[in-house]
Amino acid sequence: MKLNLWLIANQLSQYDIETRISAATERTISGPLPVAAAGSVYVRNEGADVICHAEQGTIVIHDMEEKEGFLLIQSIFNWYDSWQENIEEALRAADYRLFVHLCAQAFSNPVLLQDSNYLLLGMDCRGISIGNIPEWRYIYEKEQSSVTYYLAMSDALKNPVRKYNDCVYRFNTSAKDEEGNEYQTSGLHVKFRYLARDYGQITVLDKKRPLNPGDVALLNLLTEKCSLIFAAAERGDDSGVNKQIMNDLLEYKEVPKEQMDYHYSIIIRKSPDSDNRLCLFLFHFDSAKERTAGLELLKNILTKQYPAIYNWIYREDLLVIAYVPEPNILVRQMYSWIGSQGYLKKLRVGVSLPFDEISNLPYYYEQAIFAINHIDSPGLCFFYDCACEYLMENMDRQRKLLACEPICLKMWTEEPDKREFLRTLSVYLGLERATGLAADYLSIHRNTINYRIKYVKEQAGWDYEDPSLRNYLRLSIYYLTRWGEL
């Protein structure tokens, strides 16, 4: 492995040395020699000291014999050769813990490895107290950067103190800890890319020793290794779901039935459960700034915390499809958990009605958007709570039918023999739950009315004391009776 004098000096920090090195970061030195030659470091005695000289400058090691100095410099080259091999093995094995440990050895400073969305891959704090760096403590505990850290780094990297080799940045940031005390962090940051795509990033802090051009050269080397190995190891979306197909569905484009069936089987984990239903959650940031910072971060933390869901970014929102028996319980849990991570500010979550056919996805996407727009404040926005307004405003037959009360719709479509029960319920509710009047209107015995009302109530768990639910049921049964089939 070729080095520069800074890299050699960094491994001599425990010795009494003096450096006179230029700011050049190119790695051009291939080894030590007892004579001056291009591409090497000339090791010789000068009085009681060892002089290590190259075109980039000079390192003086005080109080050392020439032979000992020569072997020492040679051992540094051997160490870097072995280090590079171990780095490559760790990357290929995706052993990020070992990777950052090796990096911390070379930099003698804290090292943080994250993916392109600031999800923690590995961290080595190299003998410092992580409590002194609140954001790094947060990353360590949550395995994910906060929006605050993301914004701070974005601002710092827009105007770096100095930019090295078009990819390595020196940054300085200031922030406040939990007690309101301001603290500074500085260091080097690099993103590794391949074919114009980001795969991850490394951050090294100035803590135990000042970072120098040798560290920049090392980060450039790591960027090359990481970019190629990460790109080669990529396997695409492990879920098997094609995002373009999902987007085509959302935009009412024609998608072959076999593709829809395949995607449905993937989303429900290939084993349909009669108690489970699909539901769409739409996560929307009101603030454009937080939307830019938060979408990918939120996607990562939800993927990590809820691996059974499928999520993707569409336009400027995060969409989540869940396949569970109680979607509303799940979304409340998710929202509460997100709140514990500090992501609730100006975040609204639109929740569609549950559904079974993935071909109807665009209609339920519209429901989630309607719910978002119906409620002005951040929080959970259930379409169920505003479905009556949607039914009254919308003239489209399919949209109306799919917006009907979900249990009512399911009963109508799957139990045709119970449709008369629902019609009876509609009359009963329309007559202010007067059993006698309903029996007269329908010309049936009041015991029949009571049986039908009790049956659908037990099946659905409806609370007839809720006036908004009564309105929703009457509207739903009206449109189901009017149009009959989906």
Task: Give tens-digit pLDDT for 126-171.
Answer: 778 777 788 888 888 888 887 777 777 888 887 777 777 768 999 8
Q: Hey, what's the torsion of the CAs at 141, 378, 293, 131, to 10 degrees? A: -20
Q: How many CB atoms lie within 10 A of CB 209?
A: 12
Residues 6+ apart with CB under 8 A from 387: 353, 367, 403, 404, 405, 472
> What is the layout of strands, in order, in the sheet containing 347-351?
310-314, 317-324, 277-285, 347-351, 379-382
pLDDT for position 227: 72
Per-residue pLDDT at 486 exceeds 60: no
Averaged pLDDT, 378-390: 94
What tokens were used for 19?
Answer: 């450096």
Range in 88-102, 184-198, 244-258, 380-394 with the lowest mean pLDDT: 184-198
Residues 110, 136 contacting (CB under 8 angstroms): yes
Reported confidence tier of residue 341, pLDDT bands at 50, 70, 90: low
pLDDT for position 237: 44
Residues 6+ apart with CB under 8 A from 344: 335, 338, 378
- By CB atoms closer than 10 A (0-12, 13-18, 19+), residue 208 is middle
pLDDT for position 106: 95
Reported confidence tier of residue 387, pLDDT bands at 50, 70, 90: very high
pLDDT for position 195: 60
Pairing of strands 347-351, 379-382: parallel
pLDDT for position 49: 95
Range in 107-116, 208-217, 295-304, 320-329 with the lowest mean pLDDT: 295-304
Residues 262, 289 contacting (CB under 8 angstroms): no
Averaged pLDDT, 221-228: 80
The number of C-alpha atoms within 13 Å of 331 and in the hemisphere containing its C-beta is 27
With a threshold of 0.75, does the pTM exceed it? no
pLDDT for position 344: 64
**Tokens 């605050």 found at:** 148
Cα–Cα distance for residue pair 94/102, rounded to 1 Å: 13
Give the closest residue to 334 by CA, choosing from 305, 311, 292.
Answer: 305
Q: Amino acid letter at 25?
A: T
Q: How many CB atoms lie within 10 A of CB 155?
A: 11
Cα–Cα distance for residue pair 314/224, rounded to 1 Å: 32
Pairing of strands 41-46, 32-33: parallel
Q: Which of 161-165, 284-288, 365-369 has the highest mean pLDDT?
A: 365-369
Alpha-carbon separation of residue 429 from 203, 233, 451, 465 (angstroms) = 64, 61, 15, 10
The distance from CA 455 to its chain's CA centroid, rounded to whole angstroms, is 45
- Furthest C-alpha separation in the chain: 119
DSSP 386-420: GHHHHHHH---HHHHHHTS-HHHHHHHHH-GGGHH
pLDDT for position 293: 65
Q: What are phi and psi of 194, to 5 degrees?
A: -145, 125
DSSP 138-150: HHHHHSB--HHHH
Per-residue pLDDT at 174 exceeds 70: yes
Residues 400, 394 contacting (CB under 8 angstroms): yes
418-474, pLDDT tens digit by residue? 899 999 999 999 898 898 998 899 899 999 999 999 999 888 889 888 999 999 999
| Residues 66-83: b if buried by 16+ CB within 10 A, e if exposed | eeebbebbeebbeebeeb
Per-residue pLDDT at 50 exceeds 90: yes
Reported confidence tier of residue 298, pLDDT bands at 50, 70, 90: confident
User: 3-state class of 445 per DSSP?
Assistant: coil
Alpha-carbon separation of residue 232 from 179, 181, 229, 237, 289 (angstroms) = 45, 44, 5, 14, 33
pLDDT for position 240: 61
Q: How many CB atoms lie within 10 A of CB 485?
A: 8
Q: Amino acid letter at 424?
A: T
Element (H, E) at 273: none
53-66, pLDDT tens digit by residue? 999 999 999 999 99
Cα–Cα distance for residue pair 76/220, rounded to 1 Å: 19
